[in-house]
Structure 1
Amino acid sequence: MIQFPTLIKKFCDALLEYDPETKKLYWYHSERKPDLCNRWSDHEEIYEMYRERYVCRDDLDIWERFLSPENIERFAQGNTAEEHFYIRFENMGRGLEWHEISMEQMEDSHVLIGSRDVREIYQSAAITKAILPELDYVCFIDIETGSYVLYYPDANKTVFSQNTADDYDTVIDAFNRKHVIPEEAQTLTQNMQIGHVRQMLNDKNEYILYATFKKEEDLLYKKLCFAYADATRKKLVLIRTDISSVVNERKLREKEERKRVAYLENMPVACVSAEVLLDPDGAPYDFRITYSNQAYAKLVGVEVPELLKRNYYEIFPDMDRKRLPYYYDTAYNGTPHVLSWDVEEKNRHMLIHAFQIEKGHFGSVLVDTTEEYFLTKELQRSREEMQRILETTTDLIFEYHVETKRFNISRIGMDEVQKSLSEEGLIETLVQKGYLEPSCAPVLEQAFSRMKKGESRLSVNLKARIRKEEGWSWYRLNLFEFQTEYMHERKTFGYLQNINQDMLRQEELEKRAQTDPLTRVLNTSEGKRKIKQLLESQKDIKHGNNAMFIMDIDDFKQINDTYGHMAGDRVLKAFAEILRKTFRAEDIIYRLGGDEFVVFVEDAEGTGRNIESIVQKLNFNIQGLKKRYSFFGSSIGVYVADTVCSFEKYYAEADKALYETKKKGKDHFTIRKG
């Protein structure tokens, strides 16, 4: 019989050995029939029992083909070294289980039979890969001679190849020098020597080593497990498995955790989390701090390790307990609170923002509001006014669980929105109820997607409203991530801030940057940009009827010299108003410079209009302007193209038309068509 280490048995639901001489099975391990373990059973009886009780009726032919008395005897005496097949077993009336059965011929014609449940493998390959490390090889070492036989899988992990050699200790030394990182190679070689391994196995069943291997620019992490191959203790078995994914994942988690802890540790604002403790009647009597950054420890004058050892009121017996009920409400009911705290010995006033982390636990951020507090006392401000200020700065607070994609809304003025919703449900509900402007739904979805991909902090701007009777306003959604102390869950907090005035101010600034300050039409750069953008959108259109107007005010210098520059400015503004009155809102009007203006008209020959009618309307409005300014006149050049061309082409041809007008005596128009 073979002595199998516990590690091998864990891969199998059942592990048996068939003796062709006695026609019996020895049960090393069985989860289905533990009562049969560690003893011999008649093969034919076991075959019939499984056939009647466990094997799926549709798979009986597979069972007979491989494991009937005749076929297993044929396998034991034949040339096939290994077989494996899949079969379904009845699971005590709860359905069928897929199992993989492996049969391996041993040197003495015995047959090793292993069975494992593969349902979970098919259902979740990712989970299986995380739980079961990749097998690199199995090595059997002869203690007396130092020779060994190495079995290792091919690239597909399906067929095991065999490699034999003498002098295990020498080979291991050369192999480790070449492949193991230098700082580990010598120690690993010493620990893998046969003599050392035997010494370590004197009082234990397994001897485990870990090593770091070089592979080009990468590092691979391996686990090596030694055990005796059988009860005679004449052979050792060495199993090497790859644990790189486990090690790398752990390192990544540790790195992310260090980043989060460093972020909190370096914050100038005091942060602390705690568990609220209950007496046998379910009433709160104290709380235990589970995390504190240095800012909080400095505030209370106690080192962090001491804060984490004892209950809060044991450390501070004279501390007022009036905040404890609020901490309980936050920790167990999820209600956030903003509490006042006068740190008398430091002459400071703090606001404690308490929020639920998980059931029974709360976190708090302490904001130093000393200056505001004393100012409030001096000005006799009421507590209600302070509350309104806080509600103005933060309009909505919620907790987002990245893994479950669900929200817990902590404070919100939207009574129709549920307190706990899925990601999709929240966005859909906010749009349907009229709280989120529909075009902002994709922006919100992308923000949640970015958080799920690993971003720990982000901000996006949305159009929304807290009450449906209000108009749309701009809000900034801020999201930041943390990991719970006990459950190790990724959670995300979010809050909304009203930035409507800032956005409107920004829009006004952008509008000013695009507009000529005197005439309030577009400036040159913005006008050109819009025309070129329009032409780019038309590049696939073969036929077009766009028109460009270039016009100036006749003898404008003489107007300035005669009537003054202020009068000249009034004429410019009046002419710009005439252009806005003549052309459509979607037509592009900009001041070219001085007294020159450009207008670009899309589809000038469209339904119900043509270029001549546009010019007539412009001329009519100019005649009206002449009633105010008898000296006013304007020369106009127009270019209309029946095909889409470049901005430069429109401009050059319209400029030629303007030149022809001036040549004819000004205060008139010329139309060129292309």
Structure 2
Amino acid sequence: MNSPSQQPDRRAQSASSNKGFEKGQHLDFLQGLPQAIAVVRVDLDIMGKPYDLVPVYGNDALFCLFDTPKEKFIGTSLNNSSINFTQWLGTFWETAYQGRVQKITDFWPVQGRHLMVTCHQPQYGYCTCLFQDVSERVLLENELDRNRQKLEALLHSAVDMVFQIDPVTLAVTNLEESLASHGDLFKARRVPEGLFQQGLFAPGQDEKIKEAVNLIRFGVGDCTCEVRARVELNGPYTWHSLTAIGYVEPHSGEICIIGFLKDAHDRVKERDDLLFRAEKDSLCGIYNRAAGESLITLKLGNVDEADPTRAAMFIFDLDDFKNINDSAGHSTGDTVLTAFAGVLREVFRKEDVIFRLGGDEFAVFAQNLPVERVIKIYERVAAKLQKPLVQGVFVKVCAGVAFSQTGRHSYDDFYKTADKALYNAKEGGKGQIGVLCLCGSGA
């Protein structure tokens, strides 16, 4: 590539051979174009370096754009002009003398606009400038950039990991490079490749993710659930909030889903602890009376009228419990209560509702239970009490049972009937069971 100082002869030749060009000959067809066009001569000093720009042609759109009459523009040095071309001397020189096609976008204070200038070489030593007002585009890009920065600031505090979820296979992949390249935050929140092999989500989380994806596929814009996941290689699975957001790909019309993970371990643990304290008996660790009643009412409300289910409520009362407190102390009494709650957990099923009514009274509600099993269950409880619940302390228990063939009764119906059956059992002595069946609206 030749430097300007090596081309004095060609510059002299150019200056002497372009008189017709500078008079605007053969350029009249450009006058009616809506796009502003200028032809500028790039003058060099004796060292061959660019030092001035001199417009030799402009169309009407150009003079309108710069609000300058033709006679004050054509043939006038731009060094001292209010139109700031001189900052681009080097750029125009590259086009005028090297033929390089270039595009420049800058803000022009006098016009108060963002202009893009496309530079071509019409002849050696000259630069044709095509002006395009790109203010709206630049403002839009700036607005998008500001919004992206706001989004990154928001995500920085709200998101630990960002990824895509395939709505059909539920496969998790990183964002496309085109999206992840916008800002460092998305890159920092990518899933480490090794986690795809180790497992981003803990086993057993698929159903939660599937449910969230199905909600989005059926029109819900976004949904959030709690999952056990990890964001570091070889890290432990902890509780995270998974937010899935769906959108429609404009070209294919397919539903796409982006997932966000945010650490929620402490919040979930705190909530579960509060829930435990609200629902569980602080001494025995089983449900308290209010929680038991609520759960039973919920189960009874879900009984299908067309498909009734047999159900029973047991009320257990420890015999002579007051004597244990009086003789062995309340601490021993508390241990006995806790141990008996453990017996009920061993005998009854996981889906049965076990709760403490208060004092030495406990209750259990069980569905899908044949009547013939009621006595066998009590016998299993009594058999476990053949051994001391705590060292040297034996107890017996009476039980009252309310049984329903249909399960279509209220909590009060079950409770009052079981309480009446318990009264009958205690009338017969210690370690007895009474059973009453619920028929219609009563026992």
Structure 1 residue 555 corresponds to structure 2 residue 320? yes
**Richer in strand (by share):** 1
Indicate the residue corresponding to 1:7 in structure 2. Answer: none
Q: Structure 1 residues 431, 540: closer, same or farther in 2, change over 3 A?
A: farther
- Conserved 8 A contact 1:519-1:576: yes
Query: Could you report, residue by residue, the CA deviation over 1:22-46 in whole angstroms, capped at 9, with x for unpaired residues?
Result: xxxxxxxxxxxxxxxxxxxxxxxxx
Q: Structure 2: how far apart are the matches of 1:432 and 1:566?
A: 44
Q: Structure 1 residues 473, 629: closer, same or farther in 2, change over 3 A?
A: same
Provide the TM-score with structure 1 as the length reference: 0.35
Q: Structure 2: how far apart are the matches of 1:603 and 1:498?
A: 40
What are the ranges of 5 or more consecutive residues in structure 1 without an aligned counterpart? 1-278, 289-304, 312-356, 370-389, 401-405, 419-429, 453-457, 482-491
Query: Could you report, residue by residue, the CA deviation over 1:426-478 in whole angstroms, capped at 9, with x for unpaired residues?
Result: xxxx99999973423443565698786xxxxx873342644797647422539
Pairwise CA distance, 1:566 = 1.6
Q: Structure 2: how far apart are the matches of 1:433 and 1:627?
A: 40
Q: Structure 2: how far apart are the matches of 1:556 and 1:600?
A: 23
Structure 1 SS opposite 2:327:
helix
Indicate the residue corresponding to 1:66 in structure 2. Answer: none
Structure 1 residue 632 corresponds to structure 2 residue 395? yes
Structure 1 residue 439 corresponds to structure 2 residue 208? yes
Indicate the residue corresponding to 1:645 in structure 2. Answer: 408
Q: Structure 2: how far apart are the matches of 1:520 and 1:435?
A: 26
Indicate the residue corresponding to 1:515 in structure 2. Answer: 280
- Conserved 8 A contact 1:515-1:522: yes
Indicate the residue corresponding to 1:610 in structure 2. Answer: 373
Indicate the residue corresponding to 2:311 in structure 1. Answer: 546
Q: Structure 2: how far apart are the matches of 1:604 and 1:643?
A: 11
What are the ranges of 5 or more consecutive residues in structure 2 without an aligned counterpart? 1-90, 116-139, 166-174, 181-185, 248-256, 439-443
Structure 1 SS opposite 2:282:
coil
Q: Structure 2: how far apart are the matches of 1:583 and 1:434?
A: 28
Number of matched pairs? 280
Q: Structure 1 residues 603, 416: closer, same or farther in 2, change over 3 A?
A: same
Report the residue type matching 2:261 in the other structure.
Answer: L
Q: Structure 1 residues 582, 461: closer, same or farther in 2, change over 3 A?
A: closer
Q: Structure 1 residues 467, 658: closer, same or farther in 2, change over 3 A?
A: same
Q: Structure 2: how far apart are the matches of 1:605 and 1:506?
A: 37
- Conserved 8 A contact 1:437-1:464: no
Pairwise CA distance, 1:550 = 0.6
Query: Could you report, residue by residue, the CA deviation over 1:346-388 in whole angstroms, capped at 9, with x for unpaired residues?
Result: xxxxxxxxxxx97997446489x9xxxxxxxxxxxxxxxxxxx
Indicate the residue corresponding to 2:159 in structure 1. Answer: 394
- Conserved 8 A contact 1:434-1:468: no
Indicate the residue corresponding to 2:269 in structure 1. Answer: 504
Q: Structure 1: how far apart are the matches of 2:432 and 2:202?
A: 58
Indicate the residue corresponding to 1:474 in structure 2. Answer: 240
Q: Structure 1 residues 574, 282: closer, same or farther in 2, change over 3 A?
A: farther
**Greater relative contact order, per chain length (Cα 8 Å cut-off, separation 6+):** 2
- Conserved 8 A contact 2:240-2:261: no
Report the residue type matching 2:285 in the other structure.
Answer: R
Q: Structure 1 residues 439, 282: closer, same or farther in 2, change over 3 A?
A: farther
Q: Structure 1 residues 392, 360: closer, same or farther in 2, change over 3 A?
A: closer
The two structures, once aligned, show a CA RMSD in angstroms of: 4.9
Alignment of 1:351-500 (within 5 A): 362-363=145-146, 365=149, 394-397=159-162, 408-409=179-180, 410-411=186-187, 412-413=190-191, 415=193, 437-444=206-213, 446=215, 460-463=224-227, 465=229, 466=231, 471=237, 473-477=239-243, 495-500=260-265
Query: Could you report, residue by residue, the CA deviation over 1:82-126 in whole angstroms, capped at 9, with x for unpaired residues?
Result: xxxxxxxxxxxxxxxxxxxxxxxxxxxxxxxxxxxxxxxxxxxxx
Indicate the residue corresponding to 1:132 in structure 2. Answer: none
Which of 561, 585, 590 is matched with 2:350 structurally? Answer: 585
Q: Structure 1: how far apart are the matches of 2:355 and 2:412?
A: 16
- Conserved 8 A contact 1:548-1:600: yes
Provide the TM-score with structure 2 as the length reference: 0.50
Indicate the residue corresponding to 1:661 in structure 2. Answer: 425
The percent identity for this pair of structures is 25
Q: Structure 1 residues 477, 659: closer, same or farther in 2, change over 3 A?
A: same
Pairwise CA distance, 1:596 = 0.8
Q: Structure 2: how far apart are the matches of 1:571 and 1:500?
A: 35
Which of 558, 561, 575 is matched with 2:340 structurally? Answer: 575
